[in-house]
Chains A and B, each alone.
Chain A
């Protein structure tokens, strides 16, 4: 089961802009933040397909619910797995810099340690991460690169370096943003020592919550040959969630389907 799920909501909210002319690095980072984190609680459906050498191997469906904290820009997220049947009912809670996992066959939720997220899929405590606050961003010129459909696009290149090393988010990120449309095209994620962990290609841009965002992210593994994780977002909706639902103790109810 892709535990990573609620966290890859980062992808979804990554680097989305409205059209603006020649922004600076700082402004871009700010814009990223603003667009990544909507101003309200919401829910979305994620369909995750794992591909090996172009062929789908496993597909999961997750329902992700995110609640924004009233006073800050932080979000907590709860994700419920709806498919495949073997994983159905499993749920994850991400918030307060913790991640908890619950399997309905067990009795208690277990805290998930960071090592579960290493490797195959990237890690991020997405919604609370502020690119602006936690990364030093600099504009590194322009470059023409192929996008997810293998067409060349002229992009602005951003280099982002984490201010405080360590933790679960990547230490170094390189972003390519469409110069004209200011949409994210590609992101590369590195460790502090410069090792490339994964590359994200964005596609299927559509209007969501008043903004044009990519609704599909293809995560290309740079450690394992032939491995791609294809994530599609759909069924967006804004919702007001009760606070009680966003805790590890609520996971049992969530798994049983007792959702408001």
Chain B
């Protein structure tokens, strides 16, 4: 295309102006691509942590989602083994499955045996090694960034509980604070029997109907061999089937950060067998949710459809939810970011359009004589228009390409610089990345946007030039 060369040469006429225009386009396109890359990274971080906590799908007894949140244990599934087998052996699901596990979610009151601080809690009974596997789900390498020294407190690389640890539990950091699990028990001044009593206390029993208050006070507090010295927690729950509350005592093994602040403030994780026994004393193992973890998040739609088919075909009294629904904040956040992205996109398009319009107008005004000449020697209006728009297109193209280069450089820079911070709604540190290269859609959108905007905004001055009277144009030679 000879016209292409002509267009390029024309752009090169006023190098400074063209360069400024190209740079402005580049910065806009590149910036947009970087923002999109950042958003992609953030979504992935949240996806990783959400799926790592809840799995891709959760299957409950029917009506659990609407009615069960106040008392989850009341909507428990009692044939967990059967359902697990059904899912694992289904030929369509099998190749896509990573893990099927069960959990019991319940609530009650917890008291620290040592400090007597009490709180409500949310209990999660899990199969420890399966639960660990779930939380280790890390396809994007963002949130389980074990190697980050900032996360050193959180990740030891070992499961929270052992499979045979029936009486152990791990407690969310916020809850641990409420229960004052880090505190030493109070020391009272005149409590040890070995201490001589102060002068103010008469050697005889104080006047109190013959009762020796000093002696009795010395008997307060835990005895040395008291098992309450350990980090014990007393749990009290209401059994779903009604009746008197059930109580149990468990021992704290670990304090853990969690995916959300709410979880950190309320969650106690313990062995599912203990939880089931606590709630359904004497009955076989119950679960409140069957959790399905897939190998890839892309399979979620397919898996959900398949599970629904299985539920319908076997007339199971079950319902299911996918991970975005369990954590409704996530799609909302996604929409908000998309909105911001679109807004910024429109803003940039407008700005770049003005700029190109300006550049092209100026360029055309300077060349009216030449334009008149072209028309004189027989170039049609439409050909002339195309030529001028091609110039604008070239600006957009060059700017867009340069913008892509900026974005890729930005991506690389982030890799190298190693910025570490906590992405929104996630509770671990992660290394900041802008996933420009891994998310070509955003790159493409920025690039094409730049091009379209260049075409449209150079079309107007081109049209004006093409419609001009030849003689009028020639006057400017």
Q: Direct contact between A and B in the complex (CB less than 8 angstroms)?
A: yes
User: A residues touching B (Cβ–Cβ < 8 Å)?
Assistant: 51, 53-54, 97, 113-115, 118-120, 146, 148-150, 165-168, 191-196, 199, 201, 203-204, 216, 218, 220-228
Q: Judge whether A120 and B222 touch: CB under 8 Å.
A: no
* CB atoms of A191 and B247 under 8 A apart: yes
Q: Is the CB of A118 within 8 A of B234?
A: yes
Q: Which of B39-47, B210-218, B304-312, B410-418 contacts A (4 or more CB under 8 A)?
A: B210-218
In the assembled complex, which residues on chain A have CB atoms less than 8 Å from the CB atom of B234?
A: 118, 191
The CA of A53 and the CA of B192, in the complex, are separated in Å by 11
Cβ A223 vs Cβ B228 within 8 A = yes
28 residue pairs A–B, Cβ–Cβ below 8 Å: A51-B217, A54-B190, A54-B201, A54-B217, A118-B109, A118-B111, A146-B215, A148-B210, A165-B247, A166-B247, A166-B281, A193-B232, A195-B113, A195-B226, A195-B232, A199-B219, A216-B209, A218-B216, A220-B217, A222-B223, A223-B114, A225-B191, A225-B220, A225-B221, A226-B186, A226-B188, A226-B191, A228-B217
* Contact of B358 with A by CB under 8 A: no
List residues of B (83-125) whose CB comes within 8 Å of A's CBs: 109, 111, 113-114, 116, 118
Check B221 against A54 for contact (C-beta < 8 Å).
Answer: no
Nearest CB of chain B from residue A124's CB, rounded to whole Å: 13
Instruction: Give the interface centre of A97, A119, A120, A223 by most chain B CB atoms within 10 Å.
Output: A223
B440 contacts the other chain (CB 8 A): no
Task: Note all chain A residues with C-beta closer than 8 A to B213.
Answer: 51, 54, 228
Given contacts A53-B189, A222-B220, A225-B186, contact A119 B245 (CB under 8 A): no
Residues of A within 8 A of B139 (CB): none
CB-nearest residue of chain B to A169: B244
Of A165, A168, A191, A220, which is within 8 A of B219 by CB?
A: A220
Instruction: Say yes or no: A228 contacts B111, CB within 8 Å.
Output: no
Q: Are A203 and B209 in contact (CB under 8 A)?
A: yes
User: A227 CA to B221 CA in the complex, in Å?
Assistant: 8
Residue of B nearest to A171 (CB): B247
Residues from chain A with Cβ under 8 Å of B212 in the complex: 148-150
Give the residues in chain A near B186, CB-CB below 8 Å.
Answer: 224-226
Residue B427 is within 8 A (CB to CB) of chain A in the complex: no
Residue from the set B211, B223, B226 with the largest chain A CB neighbour count within 10 Å: B211
Complex Cα spacing A192 to B210, Å: 34
**Residues on B with beta carbons closer than 8 Å to the beta carbon of A195:** 113, 226-228, 232, 249
Give the residue of B189, B210, B220, B248 whose beta carbon is less than 8 angstroms from that of A224: B220
Which residue of chain B lies nearest to A215 when distances are taken between CB atoms in the complex? B209
Q: Which residue of A lies closest to B219 (CB)?
A: A220
With beta carbons under 8 angstroms apart, the residue of B221, B227, B245 that contacts A194 is B227
Prevailing SS type, chain A contact patch: loop
Report A170 CB to chain B, min CB distance, Å. Answer: 10
B65 to chain A, nearest CB (A): 26
What 1/0 flags go to B240-283 for Cβ under 8 Å of A? 00001111110000000000000000000000000000000100
Bound form: Cα–Cα A97–B206 in Å = 40
Complex CA gap A228/B221 in Å reads 10
Contacts of B227 in A (CB 8 A): 193-195
* In the bound complex, CA of A120 to CA of B118 (Å): 11
Closest CB-CB distance, A133 to chain B, in whole Å?
15
Contact B191 A149 (CB under 8 A): no
The digit string for B180-197, where 1 denotes a CB below 8 A from any CB of A, is: 000001111111000000
Q: Among the listed B214, B220, B236, which residue makes an inter-chain contact with A118, where contact means beta carbons less than 8 Å apart?
A: B236
Minimum-distance CB pairs A-B, first 5: A225-B221, A150-B212, A115-B109, A226-B188, A167-B244
Q: Which residues of chain A come closer than 8 Å to B189, judged between CB atoms?
A: 53
Contacting residues, chain A, for B201 (C-beta < 8 A) = 54
Category for how many chain B residues contact A: 35 or more
Contact A204–B111 (Cβ < 8 Å): no
* CB-based contact A221/B220 at 8 Å: yes
Q: Please name the residue on chain A nearest to B119 by beta carbon.
A: A115
Nearest-Cβ distance from residue A168 to partner chain B, whole angstroms = 7
Asked if A118 contacts B118 (CB within 8 A), the reply is: yes
C-alpha gap A53/B213 in the complex (Å): 9
**In the complex the two chains form, is A225's CB within 8 Å of B190's CB?**
no
Residues of B with C-beta under 8 A to A224: 116, 186, 220-221
CA distance A222 to B185 in the complex (A): 12
Distance, CA A223 to CA B232, complexed state (A): 12
Q: Assess whether B246 is in contact with A148, with CB atoms less than 8 Å apart.
A: no
Asked if B205 is an interface residue, CB under 8 A from chain A, the answer is: yes
A166 to B246, CA, bound (A): 5
Choose one: B209, B222, B246; the contact of A223 (CB below 8 Å): B222
Q: Which residue of B lies closest to A194 (CB)?
A: B227
Give 10 A-B pairs besides A220-B219, A228-B220 with Cβ atoms closer than 8 angstroms.
A113-B109, A113-B245, A118-B111, A148-B210, A149-B212, A166-B246, A192-B247, A201-B216, A204-B210, A226-B217
Q: In the complex, what residues of B have CB within 8 A of residue A120's CB?
A: 116
B28 CB, nearest partner CB in chain A, Å: 60
Asked if A191 meets B249 with Cβ closer than 8 Å, knowing A149-B212, A223-B116, the reply is yes
Q: Are B211 and A203 in contact (CB under 8 A)?
A: yes
A27–B222 Cα distance when bound, in Å, is: 32
Contact B245 A167 (CB under 8 A): yes
A150 near B215: Cβ-Cβ < 8 Å: yes
* Neighbour of A193 across the interface among B187, B215, B249, CB < 8 A: B249
Q: For B187, what are the chain A residues with a Cβ–Cβ distance below 8 Å?
A: 225
The chain A residue sitting closest to B197, CB to CB, is: A54
Instruction: Return chain A residues, CB-CB under 8 Å to B220.
Output: 220-222, 224-228
CB distance from A3 to the nearest CB of B (A): 15
Using A53-B191, A196-B223, A203-B211 as known contacts, say yes or no to A119 and B216 having CB atoms under 8 A apart: no
Whole-angstrom distance from the CB of B435 to the nearest CB of chain A?
48
Q: How far is the CA of A191 from the CA of B221 in the complex (A)?
A: 16
Query: Which residues of B sit under 8 angstroms from A54, Cβ to Cβ?
Result: 190, 201, 206, 213-214, 217
Given contacts A53-B190, A53-B191, contact A222 B209 (CB under 8 A): no
Q: Which residues of B contact A115 (CB under 8 A)?
A: 109, 111, 118, 236
A114 to B246, alpha carbons, bound, how many Å? 10
Q: Which of B201, B215, B226 has the most CB of A within 10 A?
A: B215
Across the interface, which residues of B come within 8 angstroms of A167, CB to CB? 244-245
CA distance A114 to B114 in the complex (A): 19
